[in-house]
Structure 1
Amino acid sequence: MSNVVTNWAGNITFGARRLHRPAGLPQLRELVAAGGPLRVLGSGHSFNRMADTTGDLISLADLPRIAEIAADRRTVRVDGGIRYGELADLLDAEGLAVHNMASLPHISVAGAVMTATHGSGVRNGNLATSVAGIELIRGDGEPVTLRRGDDDFAGAVVGLGALGVVTALTLDVVPAFELRQYVYDDLPRAALEQHLPEILAHGYSVSLFTDWSSPDINHAWFKRTDELPPGPLFGARPADGPRHPVPGLPADNSTEQFGVPGPWHARLPHFRMEFTPSTGAELQSEWMVPRERALEAIDAVARVRDRIAPVLQVNEIRTVAADELWLSMNYRRDSLGLHFTWIADTEQVLPAVAALEEQLAPLAARPHWGKVFTQDAATVRGLYPRFADFRALVDRYDPRGVFRNAWLDDILGA
C-alpha cells in the first residue's frame, strides 16, 4: 500500500499489502473468490490485531448505502458499511429507532455486531442482539443469508470476521423515542454498597465514570424516558455544568445534558456525531462479568486502584442484558461491563491490564473481542460454552482460511 493504514487509535499499523474499496457486491465476491488472506476493515475502532493481515484489507465504505424498512416497520435492512450515526439519521426521519447505541455513533454497524459491542441498560442487549438477519460472502465467494432461528444464526452474528464478509444486516427497529440525560457528580462509594442494583437500573441506560483517583464515582450518567426531580440522587449532586466522560476534558462534543429531552440517537451515545470525540490518543479494554457479582467486580478493581490510576483516563461501569449469541460476552448472563480508557502507551498500559485480569479472573471475566487484553487464548475459549461449535462453523464457512490471520488462529486454537 502506498499509504500507511492504522486503526482509529493509531496503536496498530496494518501489515496489509493492499486496501480494496469495492463499489459493489460483484467486485467484492471476486476479491473473496480469488483467495486470501483477507480481513475486513470497518471504522477501525478496535485496539488489537483482530483486523490485521499479511494479505489484503477490504473496506466496505464505498458500498451503496442501503436502508430498506420492512412493510411492517419492525426491521430495517442495511449495508455492511453503514455507521450508526448514518443509520440513526435515516431511521429517525422515518419515526423509527434501534433499541441501543454505543458511546460513539461513529462506529460501523457490522463491526459493532461482529464483536458484540454494546450500549448500556439492565434490560438492553448488546448491539448484536438487534440482528434479525445477516448476509455474508463466505470463504469461497458465495453469498449466504441467515435469519433468526436458522441453525447457524446464533453462531454467525458475533462472528469476529471469521465466517465471511458481512454485506448486509437486517435489524430490529422500534418506534422513535425521546430521552433525557442527567449527570451527577461525586457518587459516594457507600451508595454503591447500599444501592448498586437500584443505581444501575435507574434509567433506560446508566453509566458510572471514575478515574479511580478516589474510591468514589466521579460522574453518574442517567439516560431516562421521564424527568428526574431536582436535587441529589443516591448521595450525588446534580452537575453544575456539562460534563465529558473523562474528568477535566471540555464537554463540547458530549451529548446534551441537564434533562433536556431529545431524540434517542442524540442521547444514547455519549458523544455527538458531528464531532470527533477525541484525538484517538487512547487505548481501551473492557471485561464483562456476571451482573449479580457487580460489587465484587468493583471491589476487585479497587484492589489495584494504585496500579491502574496512573495510566487510566476513565473507567466506565455499565450493564448489558443476557443473550443467546455464542460468542457474545453476554452469552446467557446479565453482565456488568468494566470499560477502561487508557493513555496511549501500550508498554505502560499492559501491566495494568494484566493486574486487572488477575483480579477479575475469579469472576470469569470475558474480554471485549476488539480491545486490549492479555488473557491467553485457551482461557478465553474456556469462557464460552459454544466455542467448539463456533470453531466448527468457521471450518464449514471458510475451509480455505481466506479470512484467517494470526490473531484469529490464536483465538481459535489452530
Structure 2
Amino acid sequence: MNKPTTQSGKDVDPERLFQDPYAVYGRLREEGPVHQVTGTDGLPAWLVTRYEDVRQAFADPRLSLDKRHAAPGGYRGMALPPALDANLLNMDPPDHTRIRRMVSKAFTPRHVERLRVPVRRAADQLLDALADEERADLISAYAAPLPITVICDLLGVPLSRRPDFRAWTDALVAPDPARPERARDAVGQLLSFFTRLIADKRATPADDLLSALIAVRDQEDRLSEDELMSLAFLILVAGYENTVHLIGNAVAALLAAPDQLAALRADPGLLDGAVEELARYDGPVPLAIRRFPTEDIAIGGVTVPAGETVLLSLAAAHRDPRRFPDADRLDLGRDAAGHLALGHGIHYCLGAPLARMETGIALTALFDRFPDLSLAVSAQDLRRRPSMRSRGLIALPVRTKHV
C-alpha cells in the first residue's frame, strides 16, 4: 500500500493515521488550512483541515459529489457496479433531492421515536447474552449486532440473510491491501444479496421500508431500478457502518475517561449532549466523502482547480481549537452543537436521528446493566481498523464485573 504524503513530500505512516488521526491531521491543521496530499491510492487530493473551511465546503454547491465532475485520469475510487453506485453519495441536486425526499419520512425524529422501544428491547437481549460472561468483546457482541438488527428490521431483511452482512461490509469498507480479491468478492456478494432481497420483496411485500420503496419504483416510476437497489444498499451499509463505530468509539472513550462516565451516570440528563460530544470527540468518519469542484474554487485562501479531489477532514475540524476550546479533551458538559460528524447542509446524514437514538440507548442500557464495566486492556492497546474511510475498533475487550 502506498503511504499518503503531504505536499512537502513527507510520508504519513498509515498505521499512525489509523490509530491516531487526530495527531496527524492536527499537525496539518496548524501548518495550514488546505494541503495538497497524495493518498494511499497514489493519486493527488486536497485536504481541508480547519473547522470553518470544512463547514463551508460541506454547504458549497460548487463542490460536487458526482464523479462525472472528476478530472480525467484523476479520482478512481471504489469500483461498484451501476446497480450499487447510483446512490446519494454520488449525487447532486436535482436527483439527490428527488431520491432523498422519497425516503426522508422514514427517518424523521417523530418516526424514529416509534422505534425506541424495539431498539431498547434489542439492546437488552444482546446484553442478556453477556450476563454470565466476565469478559467480552463489545464490538462483536453488542456494538455491531445492535445496528444490524435495527436497520435490518427497518428495511425488512429476514433473519436468515443477516449473518454474512457484517463480513461483506467490513471487506468493502476496510479492504485488506494484501488480499484485494476479498473486496471484489464482497461487492459481488452484496449485489447478489440485494438482487435476491428485492425480488423476494416484490413477490411478497411487507410493512417495511424496502417494500415501500419498491412500490414507489413499480407503481409510481419515481426511481430507476439501479437507484432502488443503490438506495437499499446505502441505507443498509451506512445504517450499520457508521452506527457501530459511533457506539464502539463512544464506549471506549467513556471507559478511558472515568470522570466523564461518572458524570453521565450521576446525571442522565447529560445523555443527549453526551452523544453529540462523543460524536465530535471520536466520530466514525475521519474524512467526509470526496468532492469535486465544478470550477476553480478558493478554500482557506488556496485555489483548488476544477475536477480535482477534495477531502474534508472531520478529524482535524473537530479538534480545531478555534471552534472547540480544549478540543482534545472529552467534556460531556461541552456544547458540541455544530459538530460535523453527521454531515452538514443538503448532505446531512439522513439517518442522524436514528443514529443518535441508537447510541443513546446503547450507552444507557450498557452502563445500567454493567455498572462495573471496565477495559480489559489499556486504551493505548485498542486496535483500529485499517481504513481511511471509517474510524472503528477491531475489538473492544471489556470486563463486565469488578475484579
TM-score for the superposition, normalised by structure 1: 0.24
Give 1 or 2: higher strand fraction.
1
Give 1 or 2: higher helix fraction.
2
TM-score for the superposition, normalised by structure 2: 0.24
* Structure with higher RCO (Cα < 8 A, 6+ apart): 2
